[in-house]
Homo-oligomer: A and B are copies of this chain.
Amino acid sequence: MTELEWIEHLRRRLPAVHGELVLGIGDDCAIYRPRGAREDLLLTTDLMIEGVHFRSEETPEFIGHKGLARALSDIAAMGGEPKLCLVSLAVPKTWAPHVDAFYRGLLRLARQTGTQVAGGDMSSADRIMIDIVVCGAVAKGMALRRDAAKPGDAIYVSGALGRSAKRAYRSRPVPRLQLGRSLRGRASACIDLSDGLSIDLYRMCEASGVSARVERLPVATGATLEQALHGGEDYELLYTGPAGLPGIMVGRVVGLDPAALITFRDEPLLPAGYDHFA
């Protein structure tokens, strides 16, 4: 099974969300509505594993920054403000001298984005494994979701693509929090580009039950078109809505279609981003 199929398989086994849980598996964050509150909470978690999501020769600061940035990007995609994070860190005992530098990288980004470190867990392990949970908030009912793109909407990206793939995934991601907040009430749907345009646009179209045409793409300097189409980890936002939104218009939602057909310059564009279980 591919990762997409796994998630769909799991989702079918779960009962429908109920109570204070407004949205469960299948978007960038879950949405929880506390009793009586004026805000909805957004919850997301991101795993990073040595040798899979980063190389062992990366600096500890880089790893700390990237771990938090990936989860913050999910909060940005829902239009939220980050509030707190929990940091689970499993490292070899020999890595203990680097834990300080790891937290230096993480805490710098936490300060810049108003994210408080509220807890976590530590363990020894053979390889470095990091799981970072971020809890964010958004005014009640205002979270951006990936399942509400509509035929006729323009499709936008927030910046040039393929930069991270070109740099062999060594870029320091910048979560688009301010842009995400500015899209609340304006964009119809939003998702972050973590795994690649082709797979993330497919996810958005499938969740919304629409098809899409991509006509042009902003390709990062030095990157190939292939890297812009399928490279992951750019952490730009991909969103839909009326004409005149900020960002770069790349195409249009063209019709209702449960099969989520996507074309790029009139050729079919198949989802081909990173898949852990393909």
Contact = CB atoms under 8 A, between A and B. Distances in A.
Contacts of A18: 116
Contacts of A129: 49, 90, 125, 129
A127 B126 contact: yes
A113 interface: no
Interface in A1-57: 1, 3, 6-7, 10, 13-15, 17-21, 24-25, 29-30, 32, 34-39, 41, 43-47, 49, 51-53
B124 A24 contact: no
Given A37-B37, A83-B20, A44 B125 contact: no
Contacts of A131: 45, 47, 88, 121, 131
Given A10-B103, A20-B83, A53 B117 contact: no
A34 B43 contact: no
A98 interface: no
A121 B137 CA distance: 20
A171 interface: no
B276 A43 contact: no
In this complex, the interface size class of chain A, counting residues with CB under 8 Å from chain B, is 35 or more
A121 B43 CA distance: 12
Contact of A38 (B19, B35, B123): B35
Given A37-B35, A39-B35, A88-B45, A24 B117 contact: yes
Given A30-B119, A49-B129, A126-B126, 19 more contacts: A6-B99, A14-B107, A15-B116, A21-B84, A24-B84, A25-B117, A29-B119, A32-B135, A35-B39, A43-B84, A43-B118, A52-B123, A52-B124, A88-B131, A96-B277, A124-B276, A125-B129, A126-B127, A131-B131
A116 B24 contact: yes
A273 to B, nearest CB: 14
